Homo-oligomer: A and B are copies of this chain.
Amino acid sequence: MSDTDNAPRDSLFEPPAMAEQERMVEAILFATADPVTVKELGDRMPHGSDPAEALVSLRKRYEGRGVQVVRVGDAWAFRTAADLGYLMQREVTETRKLSRAAVETLAIIAYHQPVTRAEIEEIRGVAVSRGTVDQLLEMDWIRFGRRRMTPGRPVTFVVTQAFLDHFGLESARDLPGLADLRAAGLLDNRPSPLAATGQDEDDADALEAGEGQSELFED
């Protein structure tokens, strides 16, 4: 392998042919872990080489190719062509259930729109975190509605077309009403037998049961 007959390379006085220098720069840039400066190239190449010129022609050679010779500070490196960057990404999509806080906030917006943050908090009984609202905005399930003409002119939230599409609703008015919820067995007005026996730890319990239940109805 190393017995190629590139006479110029071994010569003490003659620098290698430019095509050969270009190969060298190509190999060095490829194999080196960091971008390489012209000086470093020169240090590594045979005496008399002109790495700057070799770089120019190498750069030209890679024009329009899948990788490019790019300048990084005062050094040079190979980089994937920008338009092919998407090939270097492997997208793993993970579907997660919306958190309970997000579901409840979303439900309140859907049932009460347009609704202000203060109103949402009043109904939920707890503060609505910025993250929850941001998440719903990002999902494009809610958007800002008109400002309320009350002191402070608070913004309101409404659901979006994307929300309606996702839930298969023609309009927010098609959301099942309380009566429907009751008929569906989702509302049960009798006092909780658990509460009656005096046990109080049911919040977590209820959450779990709720999750379990939704599993029951999915698909």
Interface residues of A (CB under 8 A from B): 1-2, 4, 6, 22-28, 30-33, 44-45, 64-67, 78, 80-88, 90-91
How far in angstroms is the closest Cβ of chain B from A28?
6
Chain B residues with CB under 8 A of A26: 65-67
6 additional A-B residue pairs with CB within 8 Å, beyond A27-B81, A30-B80, A44-B87 = A2-B82, A25-B66, A27-B67, A28-B66, A30-B78, A31-B91
Chain B residues with CB under 8 A of A65: 23, 26
Chain B residues with CB under 8 A of A78: 30
Which residue on chain B has the smallest CB distance to residue A46? B87
Q: Which 4 A-B pairs have the closest CB atoms?
A: A26-B66, A27-B66, A23-B66, A1-B82
Selected from B23, B64, B84, the residue in CB contact (under 8 A) with A24 is B84
B90–A27 CB distance below 8 A: no
Selected from B22, B66, B88, the residue in CB contact (under 8 A) with A66 is B22
How far in angstroms is the closest Cβ of chain B from A79?
9
A81–B2 CB distance below 8 A: no
Chain B residues with CB under 8 A of A2: 82-83, 85-86
